[in-house]
Structure 1
Amino acid sequence: MRPINGDDVTAAVEGSAAVLGTAAERDWKGVKAWRLEWSCLETAEHLAAALFGYASRLVTGAQDWLPCDLTFDEDADGAGALEVLRSTGALLAATVRTTPRGVRAVHPYPFGSADREGFAAMGVAEVLLHTHDIALGLGVAYEPAEELAEAVLTWLFPHVQPGPAPWPTLLWATGRGELPGRAPVAEWRWRNNLVIPAERLTLVGVRPAAARDLRLGGDGGFEWMEGGPFEGTREASTHLVKAYESGVHRPEFGVFVLVRHEDGRAIGGMGFHGVPDEEGRVEVGYDLVEGARGQGYATEALRTLTEWALARDDVDTVFATIDGDNLPSQRVVSRAGFVRATVEEERTAQEENDGDSELQLHIRRR
């Protein structure tokens, strides 16, 4: 898997300009962009402003909104709008290419920030969707490359079950089309990945695109410490992909890669085995690259993730099932504030795990 990058932004803009360029001489001011309240020119202005805004925030890692915007001149026309689209698209593409891994800048949906891949995906999404709107308003045909639509879905719509084809699925997910067997979408937001900071590391949410790569033996777009990723992370990524493909994946209860602050290297994986049950119980699991063990990283990450989960209204209990002879893992959960469950609770857990009588249940409640 190649992470979404500046080349994808460039490809999206080039595809847009090629199609809309065939109608550049039309009256963009006097024609509405499909079902939008904006004219085609106003929609193009919004698109260019989005690309400019993404680049201007990402280039500095801005954590607050910048007091600037992009607007067209009063005499702007379709041809001029396309020149601005090419320019702002090139700015975002270059910014994505040169931004270091791990830099995040402000964006509201849904966790307050996005990384370079997130801004690239948002830029591509803006181009694809608003080119669609403008093209329909101008009466020209447009369909983007399938790989661009799929990239947007796997990087920004982890909560949306894949459909028979990426482009119709993206149109449906953004309220622009119908999909057989699915109700129309009236309100929607894309979702950048969740990151949870700890003292010495950050828990970085794994997107479906990255999980697919990890499942197939890749690095998921992370720079791993030697020996990683460990097999548990790959197995968890397999479960994530299955949940995504079946439409039940909830990103905040997925898989997180543990990225060390001192060198930006990934040292392990941690995450949930699914969403909370009706009683607010959720199971957690983890692994570390061998070279990172014995330094308190797993304890720090587990404590951080558990406290994040217990602060939610839908979680009352976080639990971990551990083999009886896995003493290091037992010490990790103990240091993270977990306690051994009651005999009855443990027996139930053993029955749910094929009657494994050696399995221990450790819990931490709100």
Structure 2
Amino acid sequence: MDGTTLLRAVEHSAGFLERHLDGDWRRPGEQVEMSAAQLVAHMANCLLWYGVDFCAGPRELATNTVSVDDGAEPVELLRALRAAGRVLAAVVDAADPGDRGWHPAGIGDASGFAGMGCDEVVVHTHDAAQALGVDFEGPADVAHAVLGRMFPWAPAGGDRWQVLLWANGRAVLGARPRLTSWRWHVAPLAEWDGTRP
């Protein structure tokens, strides 16, 4: 996972949402009781937080606040999302291999932070699409990369987008029920012990 993958995820999502600017961006969603506007602001906030948290190193930095105004016009929210994506992409691409950042899910490397960013963007775009009453599908290559990096415990095979939605508690996967809890694997993959969190 790197900045290029993150920017592909951001552009896919922002481009999709741009085609639905005439929808009701204030209507709450179903699975996630946030509106499309709130979700896009949340995505941008997350990308900015991740950039700061990674740069701050492996100890929690609790002094900063980041806030994208969810009351802004949708077109401005999408500008904020794209800008935040560029910030995090630049941070992870400039990182040294030994750099680590703090996150509640663990001490992550650059690929872990890029993976969290990709997952936030494509899964919350799915949520925003539901709030807007339209269907969204994340790019298969991004879904594949996110599953391999952030959810190494997820089942192999099948439609990778559906598996990613399942891994994030958004869908039933065949006989597997919807997950009620999950956790990213943020640390370098070499540190994964092969168990599901």
**Does the C-alpha gap of structure 1 residues 166 and 81 become closer, same or farther in structure 2, counting only changes over 3 Å?**
same
> Equivalent residues in 2 for 1:247-326 (5 A)?
249-250=194-195
**Does the C-alpha gap of structure 1 residues 74 and 7 become closer, same or farther in structure 2, counting only changes over 3 Å?**
closer
Does the 8 A contact of 1:52 with 1:91 survive in 2? yes
Does the 8 A contact of 1:118 with 1:155 survive in 2? yes
Q: Are 1:184 and 2:129 matched, yes or no?
A: no
Once the 2 structures are TM-superposed, how far is the Cα of residue 33 of structure 1 from its aligned partner? Answer: 2.9
Amino acid at match of 2:191: G
Once the 2 structures are TM-superposed, how far is the Cα of residue 50 of structure 1 from its aligned partner? Answer: 0.5
Amino acid at match of 2:59: Q
Amino acid at match of 1:118: G
Aligned twin of 1:37:
33
**Does the C-alpha gap of structure 1 residues 193 and 21 become closer, same or farther in structure 2, counting only changes over 3 Å?**
same
Per-residue CA shift, 1:249-301, capped at 9, x if unaligned? 3279xxxxxxxxxxxxxxxxxxxxxxxxxxxxxxxxxxxxxxxxxxxxxxxxx
Q: Are 1:5 and 2:38 matched, yes or no?
A: no
Once the 2 structures are TM-superposed, how far is the Cα of residue 129 of structure 1 from its aligned partner? Answer: 0.3
Find 1:205's aligned residue among 181, 191, 194: 191
Q: Structure 1 or 2: larger strand share?
A: 1
Once the 2 structures are TM-superposed, how far is the Cα of residue 139 of structure 1 from its aligned partner? Answer: 2.1
Find 1:162's aligned residue among 126, 150, 156: 156
SS of residue matched to 2:108: strand
Per-residue CA shift, 1:128-172, capped at 9, x if unaligned? 100000011112332121110011111111222224121100111
Higher relative contact order (CA 8 A, sep 6+): 2
Amino acid at match of 2:19: T
Aligned twin of 2:21:
24
Once the 2 structures are TM-superposed, how far is the Cα of residue 17 of structure 1 from its aligned partner? Answer: 0.8
Does the 8 A contact of 2:165 with 2:171 survive in 1? yes
Task: Please give the alpha-carbon distance, in whole angstroms, between the structure 2 residues aligned to 1:34 and 1:16.
Answer: 19
RMSD over aligned Cα atoms: 2.1
Aligned twin of 1:77:
73
Q: Which has the larger radius of gyration?
A: 1
Find 2:117's aligned residue among 109, 123, 129: 123
Q: What's the TM-score once normalised by structure 2's chain length?
A: 0.91
Amino acid at match of 1:20: L
> Equivalent residues in 2 for 1:107-146 (5 A)?
107-109=103-105, 112-146=106-140
Does the 8 A contact of 1:135 with 1:142 survive in 2? yes
Q: What's the TM-score once normalised by structure 1's chain length?
A: 0.51
Aligned twin of 1:61:
57
Residue range with higher mean Cα deviation, 16-25 or 62-71: 62-71
Task: Please give the alpha-carbon distance, in whole angstroms, between the structure 2 residues aligned to 1:74 and 1:169.
Answer: 29
Task: Please give the alpha-carbon distance, in whole angstroms, between the structure 2 residues aligned to 1:81 and 1:50.
Answer: 13
Instruction: Give ranges in structure 2 of 5+ residues lacking alignment.
Output: none
Does the 8 A contact of 1:19 with 1:140 survive in 2? no
Aligned twin of 1:326:
none
Find 1:50's aligned residue among 46, 51, 60: 46
Task: Please give the alpha-carbon distance, in whole angstroms, between the structure 2 residues aligned to 1:46 and 1:74.
Answer: 8
Aligned twin of 1:97:
93
**Does the C-alpha gap of structure 1 residues 158 and 74 become closer, same or farther in structure 2, counting only changes over 3 Å?**
closer
| Ranges of 4+ aligned residues in structure 1 off by more than 4 Å | none
Q: How many residues align?
A: 197
Once the 2 structures are TM-superposed, how far is the Cα of residue 74 of structure 1 from its aligned partner? Answer: 6.7
Amino acid at match of 1:33: G
Per-residue CA shift, 1:223-256, capped at 9, x if unaligned? xxxxxxxxxxxxxxxxxxxxxxxxxx3279xxxx
Amino acid at match of 1:78: P
Q: Identity of paired residues, percent?
A: 34
Task: Please give the alpha-carbon distance, in whole angstroms, between the structure 1 residues aligned to 2:66 and 2:95.
Answer: 22
SS of residue matched to 1:113: strand
